[in-house]
Structure 1
């Protein structure tokens, strides 16, 4: 099981991290807001198909075609965990390679949105304070790393749950 977890976690991590790194470098750390989030989550889903494949492979090869829900779910979570670690490392690497301050850029974007909404006076001051608070918080790696991990891991939990529910039935995609 550990070999399967490492193999498919590595595959998912390289795909998710590679996609993140590529998009970050292509768009200088700021993909277009209109489709950047959709692109990111689509690449995560593509990468996390390794969860389904890993559980199926383990079921068919190591367990003779039958797997219970909890072991399948646990394997999926392990693969997702490893993919998340690679995703976080890719984000940190992309921030180094891009060479500018993402926190500052995002804080400025928060202020631009507030101004575009027509905030003035105290409301604009509060938005400015929230942006400054975010910048200070995001520069702390003890906050930034879990925030980045929390982008991909919930998707991995969902994929693991669905995969475990589907693959616990030995009649679904049976071993040949």
Structure 2
């Protein structure tokens, strides 16, 4: 189980990390870029769909084609956790070493997308609070995990439902 979990988790983490670095660089090079959360989360779902293949591979190679829901979810959970952890670690290094002004760029990006004066004032206060919280590395770790891990867990759950097979 360890080998399948590591391989699929590291592949997911690597691709997520490369995608994140590309998106951050795109935001830096094009400040007028409008973000699209739907595309971002759809990309994560597609990447985390590798969990399905990791669980299926383990089931077929090591368990003669049978796997209970709990074991399938456990494997998917560990794959998602490894991929998400790799994403978080890469973000921490990238943020602190290469883009320490990211929050300023991100704040201006969010405020440029405001359409009304009341929306602008509310977002300005919200982003000032977020910027203050982002000074704490523990908050950075938690918020970064919150970006990706829930998506991975949902995919792990769905994969376990689909792949479970009793003898």
**Structure 2 residue 77 is matched with structure 1 residue 77:** yes
Deviations 1:78-100, CA, capped at 9 Å, x for gaps = 00001101111232343246535
Q: Which residues in structure 2 correspond to 1:89-104 (within 5 Å)?
A: 89-96=89-96, 98-104=98-104
1:31 Cα deviation after fit: 8.2
Aligned to 2:127: 131
RCO greater where, 1 or 2, for CA within 8 Å and sep 6 or more?
2
After superposition, the Cα gap between the structure-2 partners of 1:12 and 1:113, relative to the gap in structure 1 and judged at 3 Å, is closer
Judge conservation of contact 1:52–1:163 (CA < 8 Å) in 2.
yes
Q: Deviations over 1:15-69 (max 9, x none)?
A: 111111122223328683343x233223212221221011001100010100000
Q: When the two structures are superposed, what TM-score results if normalisation uses the length of structure 2?
A: 0.84
Please identify, of 135-144 and 104-113, the stretch whose mean Cα deviation from structure 2 is larger.
104-113
Distance 1:154 1:32 in 2: 26
Larger radius of gyration: 1
Report the equivalent of 2:154. 158
SS in 1 for 2:118: coil
The 1:109/1:11 distance shift into structure 2, 3 A limit, reads closer
Distance 1:31 1:18 in 2: 22
